[in-house]
Structure 1
Amino acid sequence: MKSSIFNAAAIALIAVFSSGAALAADYKKNPFTLVYEGAITENVKGKVNIHPVTYKLNGLDISANVYTPMNYDPGKKYPAVVVAHPNGGVKEQVAGLYAQKLAEQGYITIAADAAYQGASGGMPRNVDKPSNRIEDIHGMADFISQYAGVDANRLGLLGICGGGGYSLQAAQTDKRFKAIATLSMFNSGRVRRNGFMDSQMATIQKRLQQASDARAQEAAGGEIIYAADAKLTDEQIAKLPYDLYREGFIYYGRTHAHPNSTFRYPMSSLLSLMRFDAADNMNLINQPLLMMAGTKADSLYMTLDGFSKAHGTKNKELYLIKGATHIQTYWKPQFVKEAMGKLTGFFGKEL
């Protein structure tokens, strides 16, 4: 009986994600391996086009997609937006969705895989260090500022989930970004340190010791120990205690799966992650700031915390998407439309 209840819950969760227009494209059927609804399947003259590019950042090859707006003319000047993807995500998922939709509004946009992740270079694979992720954002700004048609004086930044936390940190010092927006911001350092919703405070020192031991093993030439490397069944997903994780496993593992996307990272990365906090030094942001999150998101507390500490800008707005959970802002049409409405107005005014 208990098993059937959990199975029913799992089926219900999957049904929510795969109903109607929410079902994503199969990456194998898209020439650019995009997995979001409405993704570009071919470049057509006069329409929004996608341009896969590779560039160097600190000696590594970074894989990115640049989106150009309708009737793009490289001889003209356009505002641009850098889009930073979530933890575990890749450019072909939600970052690409918002990059494409912003291009539909007349922006040149870029979504890149983080160094050591996705299709970008770097070994060992899936290293997840805040300094790398922040440098990725600076690197996207470097590249897109030189792209034909970009007005480098009208550069915006959109960070989603973990990319939102890293965007806040990047924008504190990188004043090339004239306007900053976050969607469903996830404070990676706080969660890796304290646990989600601060639920693992009692085990901080134990986990730090595990991370230290993992680094020692790596340094000695031993096998890399990976954290968050689980592959869960539908029943196990249904038992997870938080919407973010339940819906996240379905989004990344079922409805919007991409072979380059993974939750796992070397446990040694925790040495950097656990001393990081996306909400530190928020007073350094003096640019216009828009922070968006769903009212039903169990991650909402991170957006509220970061926003409350943004004392350095007088031009800031907290926008709550009624009824949305964290992951639903990635794909659910009405919530994506609402978020895009705010972004269009925000970037349209500030850029």
Structure 2
Amino acid sequence: MDAITFPNGPITMAGDLHLPGDIDRTARHAAVVVVHPGGGVKEQAAGLYAARLAEQGFVALAFDASYQGDSGGEPHHLEDPYARVDDVRAAVDHLQTLDFVDPERIGALGICAGGGYAVNAAMTDYRIKALTTVSAVNIGTSFRRGWYGADSDAAAVPTLRAVAQQRTAEASQGAEPAYLPYVPAEPDENTPRDLVEAGEYYLTPRAAHPNAKNKLLFTKSVSRIFTFDAFHMVEDLLTQPLLVVAGSEAGSLWMSTELHGRARTAKRLRVVEGGTHMDFYDVPKYLDQAVAEAVPFYEEHLAARPAGRD
């Protein structure tokens, strides 16, 4: 694994480039951009998937989102969906500069919110030839409608009013910037199971990392997230082959099934029995199954330039 940096406009991105152990640098290889969840960093789930893909012969790039982790951009702890999508494009840019990567054989794999960002990037960047989502989350829809998707979009209005009040306090009253947690530090009986497990992942030695601080800049992040729809126009603009992997017990499953149902390209939905949302981050049984689905998918669709729709 090589620690690298690459440009994204004025921002310097930090990444880990995972390479097959026996890589022939005189040949051109298929590559996969791996997009981390909201609140995550490259050393967590994204790095695990990148390492597994490299073991199977792919060049795989995991990176920290702009404004997060070791990547540049200020203010830090900003979750900007539009920047996150552009990060994916910048990662493809970098892979295409590498002599040992075939620029026509680049795929993407996104986990959780990274899945939604990867979908949105693929819809407007056809250099991405094949796409996999794992425990996909459409972050804007999830923030507006709740983890289970039970609320209406109008449920976002009180939060947006709070954003407006906080912006006023920061702009004219000298208030300190406010932050939200990505995952609840003190869950209660009303906390969805997946988010309880997210706390167990991010906030304990299981996967805690000093660059994943469970902080989301309130005003600047929420106003961007709430109007974002990762799947907007997916019916018409997503032309690449699509693999959707999710657990049968995940509260987020509805977002994966919605994506699969709406996409009109060559597609496959793999629902793994018994899996929760967080199981696919690092639990070997589920991580192995997701990789086992993704590897032949990429071997098929990155072996030569995909034709697109069936």
Structure 1: gaps of 5 or more residues: 1-49
Separation in structure 2 between the aligned mates of residue 229 and residue 253 of structure 1, nearest angstrom: 11
Q: Which residue number corresponds to residue 237 of structure 1?
A: 187
Return the offset for 1:196. 1.6
Residue 166 of structure 2 is matched in structure 1 by 214
* Structure 1 range deviating more: 70-79 or 173-182: 70-79
Equivalence for 2:247: 294
Displacement of 1:223 after TM fit? 1.8
1:114 aligns with 2:82: no
**Which residue type is aligned with residue 21 of structure 2?**
M
Separation in structure 2 between the aligned mates of residue 253 and residue 295 of structure 1, nearest angstrom? 25
TM-score (norm 1): 0.81
**Deviation of residue 226 (structure 1)?**
1.0
Give the letter for the 1:306 counterpart: L
- Asked whether 1:309 is paired with 2:259, we answer no
CA distance in 1 between partners of 2:190 and 2:90 (Å):
36
Q: Supply the AA of the counterpart residue of 1:246.
A: V
- Aligned-partner residue type, residue 181 of structure 2: A
**Is the aligned partner of 1:281 residue 2:216?**
no
CA distance in 1, matches of 2:190, 2:9: 38
* Secondary structure in 2 matching 1:198: coil
- CA-based RMSD: 1.6
Kept in 2, the 8 Å contact 1:279–1:305? The answer is: no
CA contact (8 A) 1:51 1:66 kept: yes
Q: Does 1:191 align with 2:142?
A: yes
Displacement of 1:229: 6.8
Cα distance in structure 2, aligned partners of 1:153 and 1:231: 41
User: Shift in Å at residue 56 of structure 1?
Assistant: 2.0
- Contact 2:183 2:198 survives alignment (8 Å): no
Residue number in structure 2 paired with 1:69: 20
Give 2:109's aligned residue.
Answer: 158
Alpha-carbon shift at residue 161 of structure 1 (Å)? 0.3
Q: What is the CA–CA distance in structure 1 between the aligned matches of 2:161 and 2:131, rounded to whole Å?
A: 36
* 1:272 equivalenced with 2:224 (yes/no): yes
- Secondary structure at the aligned position of 1:287 is classed as coil
Alignment partner of 1:227 out of 151, 160, 180: 180
- Secondary structure in 2 matching 1:237: coil
Q: 1:200: how far off?
A: 5.1
Where does residue 140 of structure 1 map in the other structure?
Answer: 91
Secondary structure in structure 2 of the residue aligned to 1:286:
coil
Shift of 1:216: 3.5
Equivalent pair of 2:116/2:137 in contact (CA under 8 Å): yes
CA distance in 2, matches of 1:79, 1:198: 36
Q: How far off is 1:131 after superposition?
A: 0.5
Distance 1:240 1:281 in 2: 34
Identity of aligned residues (%): 36
Cα distance change of structure 1 residues 149 and 218 upon mapping to structure 2, 3 Å threshold: farther
What residue number does 1:328 align with? Answer: 279
CA drift at 1:240: 4.8
Following the alignment from structure 1 to structure 2, what is the Cα–Cα distance between the partners of residues 84 and 151?
20
User: Which structure features the higher share of helix residues?
Assistant: 1
Q: 1:251 and 2:201 equivalent?
A: yes
Instruction: Check the 8 A contact 2:35/2:118 in 1, yes or no.
Output: yes
Q: Give the aligned partner of residue 121 of structure 2.
A: 170
Query: Contact 2:3/2:17 (CA < 8 Å) preserved in 1?
Result: yes
Contact kept? 1:278, 1:306, Cα under 8 Å: no
* Matches of 1:79 and 1:303, distance apart in 2: 26
Kindly provide the CA deviation profile for residues 35-60 of structure 1, in whole angstroms up to 9, marking residues without a partner as x: xxxxxxxxxxxxxxx00011221211
Counterpart mapping for 1:90-105 below 5 A = 90-105=41-56
Specify whether residues 173 and 224 from structure 1 end up closer, same or farther in structure 2 by C-alpha distance, changes over 3 A only. Answer: same
**Residue in structure 2 matched with residue 29 of structure 1 by the alignment:** none
Q: After superposition, what is the alpha-carbon deviation per residue over 1:86-106, rounded to whole angstroms, capped at 9, x for unaligned?
A: 010000000000000000011
1:262 offset after TM fit, Å? 3.0
Are 2:34 and 1:78 aligned? no
1:59 corresponds to: 10
Number of residue-to-residue matches in the alignment: 297
Q: Tell me which structure has the larger Cα radius of gyration.
A: 1
Q: How does the TM-score come out when normalised to structure 2?
A: 0.91
Residue 293 of structure 2 corresponds to residue 342 of structure 1: yes
